[in-house]
Every structure is written in C-alpha cells, then in structure tokens.
Amino acid sequence: MNLIALRRGCAALALPLLAGTAFAQDVTLKVHHFWPPQAMPPTKILAPWCERIAADSGGRMKCQVFPAMQLGGTPSQLIDQAKDGVVDIAFTLPGYTAGRFPVMEVFELPFLTNSAEAAARAAWDFYGKYGTKEFAGIKPLMFSVHDEGYLHTRDKQVKALADLKGMKLRAPTRMTNKLLAALGATPVAMPLPAVPEAVSKGVIDGFLLPWEVIPSVKLHEMVKYHTETDAKHPALYSATFILAMNQARYDGLPADLKAIIDKHSGAGLSAQAGKIWDESQAVGRKPAVDRNNTFYTLPSAETDLWVKASAPLYDEWVANMDKAGLPGRQMLQDARQLLQKYAK
C-alpha cells in the first residue's frame, strides 16, 4: 500500500470516530432564576431536575445555574431571556410580565385552589389545551403553582376588609394586583428580590407571599403579623411558575438528549414540583412561629366577604378570553374541573 492510500485509509477510519465524538459532545444548559441560591425552588425542584438529566445522560448534559439574577436583567425579563436564547432555561413566573400570558392567568384567580400539586397538574393539562400559542419560541418544561398565598404585614394586623384600606401591599403578578385593589388595598407590583428593602424602608406595609419563600429572604424578621385564610376555603391567591427552555436550543439537541429532557419534564415534573411546594408550607412557616410573630385566621364569614369582593375578577378574565376569540366561560369551567380531578 502506497503512502497516499494509507493516508486515505486512516482518514476513512477516523471519520466515524470524529462523528461519534461530535455526537457525544457535552451539553451545558445555562439556567437563570431570581431566587437566592438557598431558596426552596432552586434547591428542591431545579437542582434535582438537573441531577436527573445529568445522570440519565451519563454526564453528557448538565446545568450551569445562575441564581439571583447573576446574568443581569430583571425578573420580568427572564422569560424573554429564555425565548431570545440569552439563556437556555429560565425558572420564573409568566405573571411577572403583566398581561403577556393571560390564558395561564386563570390559575392566579383568587380563592381557586388550596393544593399546589392539584393546581400544577391542572395547569400543565390546561396549557396543552389552551396555552401553547402564548409560548411561541419557548418549550415549557414545567408549570407549577406555589403553596397557599397569605398576607403578611409589618405594623398592623389585618382582620377584616376595612383594615386593608389605604395599605400599600406588594403583589407579584397582574392578577394579584387586581385582587388587592378589589379588596380595597393599594397594590404595588414588585418582584421578590425587591421586597425586603421595600418593607424595611416602609415603601410597602406588607406583601402577599406563600410561606415557602419567606425564610430565604428573611421576611419573617421584617414583619410581625400574618393573616391566613381558613383551610376550608381555597387560598387567598396563587401564582404560576414556569421552567421555560429556549425552543431552538431544545430542537438543536441530539435525539437522545431531547428524549431525556422529555422524560424528566412535563406533567410528571409539574406534579412533583407542586407536591414539593405543598410540603414546604409548614417548614417555611416555622421561623415566623419561632420568632413569636402574630397569626390570625380569617373566620369563614369574613372570608366569604373577601371572596365576594374579588368575584368580578372571574368575569373580567372570562370577558378578556372572549375578546381574544377564546371560549372564556368554558375555559374557566375546564380549569375548575381539572382542579377537582386532581384534588386529593
């Protein structure tokens, strides 16, 4: 065999090896979120998901997580960072971008659910039926809802609707802003990272939050009073979360890595996240109890007044869906039926 033939033979042998190397190339997914690193969602939901896809891919696919907006921007920009490919995955609230995802806002209507797991499962199904067009350029890996949302105040215990008048209260989303206004308070739209400073400086008198997140930002040390709703009623409010992946990044993955993403995402991940949020409530509440903060549970009759005051938000949501050419009343009925289906 002459030298030229030998070189050609070696090159031919090398091509499959090079192709195999390219196919097995490591994939690092850049993940961005707004929570401090020690918060429950990144440690109990995101980190285990990253560990599962790494293990299932034999280490070929892994996450590089950037907490607390380390890559810049604001929490309201996270969804576009994922859509535009600035990051591969964002863990955020669609509701941080007011009015952009009105279909999925149905799960942020007040007094709708008191089970994060049931709401997460329902939200995933509802997205598949009604919400896909809202998320063009994004591949949702999960929808979830946090544990029951309550009212936490610095200097004044809220026991009745009348107590809310004139109070400046933080809300995370457009729907919760509307809720506070309907109840007579002055809503202040604000993402989580801004809340501690706003409370400490008296910019706001209190805030809506679930228990799970409060210890991670030490807000139980900045307020004294907590107003909860009776467990017989659905929660005062809920907010919807998304683990959003850039669609082009997903589409560009090898088929086997796409399959791993699919295996560990979707309905199963949504349900897992909801269950974790439900289980986090007591743990998140304990530091406020240990600090001897003051708790008040709204009596059933008073809660009924709050429900009545916020009822027009349902009609408004239905009307907005109708204006968009969607069957608003049927959608609301479907959301409620899904919640009943998954309720324990």
Under a CB-based contact definition with an 8 Å cutoff, are residues 313 and 110 in contact?
yes
Q: State how far the alpha carbon of 107 is from the alpha carbons of 64, 188, 285, 306, 324, in Å.
A: 30, 20, 23, 18, 18
pLDDT at 231: 85
Match 């933080």 to its residue by tokens: 170
Q: Please state, in angstroms and as integers, the Cα–Cα distance from residue 67 to each residue in 42, 166, 197, 338, following that order.
A: 8, 35, 19, 33
Q: Is 166 exposed, middle or buried (0-12, 13-18, 19+ CB in 10 A)?
A: exposed
Q: What is the pLDDT of residues 286-316, one digit of tens each?
A: 999 999 999 999 999 999 999 999 999 999 9
CATH number of 26-146+239-280: 3.40.190.170
At residue 4, the pLDDT reads 46
Place of tokens 């706003």: 198
- Any idea which architecture 149-237+285-342 has in CATH? 3-Layer(aba) Sandwich (3.40)
Give strand pairing partners of 149.
210, 237
Contact 158, 225 (CB under 8 A): yes
pTM summary value: 0.91
Domain with CATH 3.40.190.170 in the chain: 26-146+239-280, 149-237+285-342
Identify the pLDDT of residue 24.
60
Taking only the tens place, the pLDDT of each residue in 124-160 is: 999 999 999 999 999 999 999 999 999 999 999 999 9
Task: Write out residues in the chain with pLDDT < 50, as ranges.
Answer: 1, 3-7, 9-23
Q: What string of DSSP letters covers 57-109?
A: TTTSEEEEEE-TTTTSS-GGGHHHHHHTTSSSEEEE-GGGSTTS-TTGGGGGS
Query: What pLDDT score was predicted for residue 19?
Result: 40
Q: Which residue has the tokens 């869906």?
A: 321
- Stated as kind and residue range, the H or E segment containing 243 is strand 240-246
